[in-house]
Amino acid sequence: MLGFDTWYHRQADDPLLASVASHEQRCLLTRDVGLLKRREVEEGYCVRSDKPHDQLREVSLRFALQPDSKPFTRCMECNGTLHSVPKEDVADLLPPHTRETKNEFSRCENCGKIFWRGSHHARMLGWIEDLANQSC
Ligand SMILES: [Zn+2]
């Protein structure tokens, strides 16, 4: 959501998570202390909160992410880069209500998913504004 390069897979088990973190030199964020204790994990952080909004706030503060964030520039499904795309290029792929009411779209260069500013976007924008106010 903040535009940082991340990796996650719902079915990934602990060995895979630790391996990816190690091989790709990623910081492993988890609530599982046992996972952080695996030998190959070089950099990790145990997230205290179990609520997504609080987790975002906690991780953003811990790593001072806010100044470098580029909201909505990466696909939240696959981490691919998003590029704005003309409405006429994606109109046939949109739900009817979206086609009638929205005019700005972006598409993931990796998986092709199309994004627009709907209610989900508005809620996330509120979270991002909250981060900006918090870091002042
Ligand atoms: Zn994608």
pLDDT means per 10 residues in the chain (136 residues)?
Answer: 93 96 97 96 96 94 94 94 96 94 96 91 89 74
What pLDDT, on a 0 to 100 scale, did the predictor assign at position 135? Answer: 60
Burial 52-70 (b: 16+ CB within 10 A, else e): eeeebbbbbeeeebbeebe
Rounded to the nearest whole angstrom, what is the distance from the C-alpha of residue 72 to the centroid of ligand 1?
12
Cα of 123 from ligand 1 centre, angstroms: 20
Task: With 0.85 as the threshold, say if the pTM is over it.
Answer: no
pLDDT value of position 107: 97
Ligand 1 midpoint to CA 83 (Å): 11
pLDDT of residue 118: 85
CA of 40 to the centre of ligand 1 (A): 28
